[in-house]
Amino acid sequence: MAQTSGATNQSTLLPLELVDKCIGSRIHIIMKNDKEMVGTLLGFDDFVNMLLEDVTEYEREEGGGRRVTKLDQILLNGNNITMLVPGGDIPENSV
Amino acid sequence: MSRKEALSQFINQIHGRPVVVKLNSGVDYRGVLACLDGYMNIALDQTEEYANGQLKNKYGDAFIRGNNVLYISTQKRRV
């Protein structure tokens, strides 16, 4: 009866399974140091390094503005990732 | 699970291609990717260093220690 691990329990979803479900769809990545990325997730590894396509990078600039960079395909270092949000909404006021 | 193959495939195919490497500091390095390892240590050829979008320096060969790397970016290749 007792549920010993989340992996055997079909009703719970492991955190990385949620990320796995996002493969092929748009994802919004919030990073340390006021950066955000929106792109299509192609894959990721155990460190949550991510392979992304058609990426838009949003950076906060000193003057209060924000810099937007478009990138074709990137291998993103997982080190600075803080949060992943399924769906590719453009961050309106966050950065 | 987790499509690690997509990453290894990407890593295998970008050797010799022009890439943009962005560091956590915000500095960009543009060059031809000579080598890449599991730490994201990178060797670049014909490297150009851009800070704030302006060319600051050029190097023939450059080694970038992986801990500084924010991302490695490539142009899509139409096949």
Task: Name all domains of chain B by residue range, CATH numbers in brackets.
Answer: 3-74 (2.30.30.100)
CB of A38 within 8 A of CB of A27? yes
| pLDDT category of residue A94 using cuts at 50, 70 and 90 | low
Taking CB atoms and an 8 Å cutoff, what residues of chain A touch B20? 71
User: Could you tell me if A76 lies within 8 Å of chain B, comparing CB atoms?
Assistant: yes
**Helix or strand (DSSP H, E) at A27:** strand A26-31
Q: How far apart are CA A12 and CA A7, in angstroms?
A: 8
State whether B2 and A42 contact (CB < 8 Å): no
Residue with tokens 């050797």: B15
Helix (H) or strand (E) holding A74: strand A66-76
Locus of tokens 């080598």: B35
Segment B10-45, tens digit of pLDDT? 988 899 999 999 999 999 999 999 999 999 999 999
Residue B11 is given by DSSP the state H
Contacts of B10 in chain A (CB under 8 A): 42-43, 51, 73, 75
Q: Where are the beta strands (DSSP E) in chain B?
A: 18-23, 28-36, 42-51, 54-64, 69-74
CA distance A40 to A70: 13
Q: Please identify among residues 29-58 of chain A the ones whose CB lies closer than 8 Å to any CB of chain B.
A: 33, 35, 42-46, 49, 51, 53, 55
Q: Do residues B34 and B44 lie in contact, with contact meaning Cβ atoms separated by under 8 Å?
A: yes
Confidence category of residue A2, pLDDT binned at 50, 70, 90: low
CB burial of B7-45 (b: ≥16 within 10 Å; e: otherwise) equals: beebbeebeeeebbbbbbeebbbbbebbebeeebebbbe
Give the model confidence (pLDDT) of A33-83 as tens digits.
889 999 999 999 999 999 999 999 999 888 888 899 999 999 999 999 999
pLDDT score at A8: 58
Residue type at A43 in one-letter notation:
G
